[in-house]
Amino acid sequence: MSGLRKGLTSYGDAGFSLFLRKAFIKAMGYSDDALDRPIVGITNTASDYNPCHGNMPDLIESAKRGVMLAGALPMVFPTISIHESFAHPTSMFLRNLMAMDTEEMIRAQPMDAVIVIGGCDKTLPAQIMGATSAGLPTIVVPTGPMVVGHHKGEVLGACTDCRRLWGQHRAGTIDEAEIETISGRLAPSVGTCMVMGTASTMACMIEALGLSLPMAATAPAVHAERRRIAEASGRRAAEMAVAGGPTPRELITPASVRNALAVLQAIGGSTNGIIHLTAMAGRVGLKLDLAALDELSREVPVLVDLKPSGAHYMEHLHHAGGVPALLRELAPVLDMACGTLAGGTLAEIAAGAERVPGQTVIRPWDAPLQGSGAIAVLFGNLAPRGAVIKQSAASPALLRHKGRAVVFDSAADMAARIDLDDLDVTADDILVLRHTGPVGAPGMPEAGYLPIPLKLARKGVKDMVRISDARMSGTAFGTIVLHITPESAVGGPLALVRTGDIIALDVPARRIDLLIDQADWATRQAVLDLAAPPFVPGRGYARLFATSVLQADEGCDFDFLRYDQGEST
């Protein structure tokens, strides 16, 4: 069945079910001609709390136009919307809820293909997770990055410059009046962050996976081209509705996932991209290999000169040829035979990429921004199942470092003590934050970007080694070890660390270790084993999250949502 006849409500009489459905939808003014066409669902994730999706009405209208020009019927339906800055306790806590909402609404309502429109960090992975499990042909339309801001002759980008300038305000070099002025200039338009944060990282990886049209990752949110891409996506969705594919499950393959990881390394992408891609791949039964990711970090250099690893912004990447031009540079390490929903292969898309004379945003292979990839994977006695560091945004002098641990037991503990004048800390110490993982926080917040203690910031200290079981925004920078797995709240070794212990970070050797003797380790482990289990909420989504969420190396998806080879769609 297709169109309006698909997924009829069960009343025990299929003819009556269709009659009733048509009778009610005709109340909206639809004709029989419209109702006999293939249906393309379009997600509406607009929200007054979500400025990243501020162009949603325009994109929906453009996508609808494309669907109708191709002869199908567009039907818009709402799902929840998540914005990084407005979600409590953290947007990651709600990602799986949005994935469930998206999946169930696709399943529950008659449609032959779906267009998912989203932008802010967790929305695109949530939508792809849900749509992949639902099994329909799906095309992704990112909302696009905002344009750059300006202040005193300097180009600004949210939120890398948010963090840099706030750090200067904390240190006393920017006063209250100026920081308020800056707050009105950092985000000058709707759209996602215009640096290589998580939103832009995911958009680039999604384009590399073949789930969106060429140039969809980079066109600015407020440019007319963004609306034209939405229209073209609507037209393509209508074609996919008739053809019955491709579906995300056909496009997310071992080869395409490796391609996406290579792009992640080359763009200086967000560490969050690892968790989200792991969850997306898990929906088709694939396991992301952290060791393979690290191999790519040694093979693939950073080619995109974009903040926070470089100097430029997303609109500059767009004008330099976008992801298609990057694919052309990365061709030696990619499987260019991978298909895309645009109808061709990556090789065909790369061959058609624009060549922009004199552009410096996408570096050639033999003149990279950095000789190694953006993200390294660490193992060791502190991270038996892995941890990650964005080495492209770290201080080179700190990539091999031994220091004394200064431990914070929670984000609240850190907030209470980090700025105390009597905090026992030096620039050579290692700041440790625990109980900020998927279960412990809950929701694995972006708390890994621990602020420099105020007493040190006032002395000009700009970076220190910081480690945690939390995440970090892709817009952030510094020598920061993240995603330590298993997390401290479920008995991971990070729970054993005490202030004063020596920790050794060796990024070239891919190690993170607690340097205590085995007897001391065993004594601490015995005490930890007697500790009370993590608190489990009594009701609602919070209880579901606490009892079902997986660790970072498994994508923080819910255990019951991963692909089961025996399931049907």
What average pLDDT does the segment 444-460 reach?
A: 95
Residues near 37 by Cβ (< 8 Å), separated by ≥ 6?
3, 71, 72, 73
CB 556 within 8 A of CB 280: no
Query: Does residue 568 have a pLDDT over 90?
Result: no
Q: How far apart are CA 12 and CA 163, in angstroms?
A: 59
- The rounded Cα 18 to chain-centroid distance in angstroms is 40
Where is 348: in which H helix or E strand? Answer: helix 346-351
Model's pTM, two decimal places?
0.95
Query: Does residue 559 have a pLDDT over 80?
Result: yes
- % pLDDT > 90, the chain: 93
What average pLDDT does the segment 518-541 reach?
A: 93
> Position of tokens 């407020």?
222
Q: What is the pLDDT of residues 402-450, one digit of tens each?
A: 999 999 999 999 999 999 999 999 999 999 999 999 999 999 999 999 9
What average pLDDT does the segment 231-260 reach?
A: 98
Q: What is the pLDDT of residues 46-67, one digit of tens each?
A: 999 999 999 999 999 999 999 9
pLDDT band per the 50, 70, 90 thresholds, residue 567 = low
Residues near 329 by Cβ (< 8 Å), separated by ≥ 6?
266, 303, 362, 363, 364, 365
Sign, Cα dihedral of 81, 441, 557, 476: positive
What average pLDDT does the segment 148-160 reach?
A: 91
Q: How far apart are CA 548 and CA 256, in angstroms?
A: 28
Q: Which amino acid is at 48?
A: D
At 114, list the tokens: 């779906």
R_g (Cα) of the chain, nearest Å: 24
CB 211 within 8 A of CB 140: yes
* DSSP classification of residue 341: T
The pLDDT of residue 475:
82
Mean pLDDT for all residues in the chain: 96
In three-state secondary structure terms, 44 is strand
Residues near 249 by Cβ (< 8 Å), separated by ≥ 6?
132, 135, 283, 284
Give 388's strand partners: 377, 482
pLDDT band per the 50, 70, 90 thresholds, residue 163 = confident
Burial pattern 43-62, b for ≥16 Cβ within 10 A else e, equals bbbbbeebbbbbbbebbbbb
Residues near 176 by Cβ (< 8 Å), separated by ≥ 6?
none
At 277, list the tokens: 């891609």
At 455, list the tokens: 């007493």
Query: Does residue 569 have a pLDDT over 50?
Result: no
- The rounded Cα 183 to chain-centroid distance in angstroms is 24
Give 404's strand partners: 502
What average pLDDT does the segment 224-229 reach?
A: 98
List, in sequence order, the alpha helices (H) in 76-184: 91-108, 123-134, 160-170, 176-183
